A and B are shown apart, each in its own frame.
Chain A
Amino acid sequence: MKIPTSIDELLYNEQTYGGLNLVYENYIVNSTTTTTGAQSAFIAQRLLKEFIMPAVTAPVVGALVTELYCSNVNNVITGLEYNLGTWDRSSGTRFSAGVAMPSKAIRNAPAVQMAGNLVFLFVEATISSSPAVATISCLDQDGNARTINVTIATSTQINTCYYLPTYFPQGMTGITAVTNISVAATEPTAGKFSIRAVLPFNVSTGTFPQSIPGNPLMNPIIEPGEKIAQYKLGSTQSAAGSAGLNHIHLTPVT
Chain B
Amino acid sequence: MITKHSDFIKQVSDNKFWKHVFKTDRTNTSGLTSSNNFSTVASAGLAPLTLPASSYGWIMTMASIASNSIGSNILIAEVLDFGQLDLNTNVFTPGADSAGFGNKFQFGASTPHSGIVMMELIGAALNGTGNQVNITYVDQDGNAAETGRNVVLSNGSVVGSAGILSLSDVDTRVRRITGATKVAGGTTQGVLQFYGIKNSAMIPVASGTMFSQDFIINSFAPIKFPSAANLRLYTIAGNVAGALLGWLDLVEETP
Q: Which positions in A face B, CB cutoff 8 Å?
A: 7-8, 10-12, 14-21, 23-27, 29, 48-51, 54-60, 63, 66-67, 69, 71-72, 207-209, 211-214, 240-241, 243-245, 247, 249, 251-252
Contacts and interface: CB of A to CB of B under 8 A. Distances in A.
A2 to B, nearest CB: 14
Interface string B67-92: 00000010100000000000000000
Given A15-B1, A71-B73, A213 B107 contact: no
Given A49-B172, A63-B107, A69-B202, A21 B5 contact: no
A21 B199 contact: yes
Contacts of B14: none
A10 B2 CA distance: 11
Interface in B31-46: 36-40, 42
A10, A21, A69, A247 pick with most chain B CB within 10 angstroms: A21
A139 to B, nearest CB: 31
A21 B219 contact: no
Nearest to B1: A15
A128 B193 CA distance: 45
Contacts of A11: 2-5, 7, 216, 222
Contacts of B216: 7, 11, 213
Interface string B163-180: 010110100110000000
B214 to A, nearest CB: 9
Contacts of B221: 21, 66-67, 209, 211, 247, 249
Interface stretch (B109-117, B123-131, B239-247): B109-117
A208 B218 CA distance: 12
Interface in B1-38: 1-5, 7, 36-38
Contacts of A63: 107
Contact of A27 (B38, B104, B217): B38
Interface in B169-224: 169, 172-173, 197, 199-204, 213, 215-223
B236 A72 contact: yes
Given A241-B38, A249-B220, A18 B107 contact: yes
A21 B73 contact: no
Given A67-B221, A208-B204, 4 more contacts: A23-B116, A26-B172, A243-B36, A251-B220
Nearest to B206: A207
A71 B220 contact: no
Contacts of A51: 172
B4 A12 contact: yes
Given A211-B219, A249-B220, A23 B115 contact: yes
B106 interface: yes
Contact of B3 (A16, A25, A72): A16
A118 B109 CA distance: 34
B229 to A, nearest CB: 14
B107 A10 contact: no
Given A18-B104, A209-B219, A213-B218, A71 B236 contact: yes
Nearest to A20: B106
Nearest to B2: A15
A57 B40 CA distance: 34
Nearest to B173: A24
Contacts of A15: 1-3, 222
Given A24-B172, A67-B219, A209-B219, A19 B5 contact: no
Contacts of A69: 202
6 A-B pairs with least C-beta separation: A57-B108, A249-B221, A24-B172, A211-B219, A66-B220, A57-B109
Contact of B108 (A7, A18, A67): A18
A67 B219 CA distance: 6
B3 A24 contact: no
B204 A243 contact: no
Nearest to B37: A241
B218 A211 contact: yes
A67 B116 contact: no
22 contacts: A11-B4, A16-B3, A17-B107, A21-B199, A23-B197, A24-B116, A25-B164, A25-B167, A56-B107, A67-B219, A67-B220, A207-B73, A208-B204, A209-B219, A209-B221, A241-B38, A243-B40, A245-B40, A245-B202, A245-B236, A249-B220, A252-B108
Contacts of A17: 105, 107-108
B222 to A, nearest CB: 6
A60 B107 contact: yes
A54 B113 CA distance: 12
Contacts of B47: none
Interface string B230-255: 00000011000000000000000000
Contacts of B213: 209
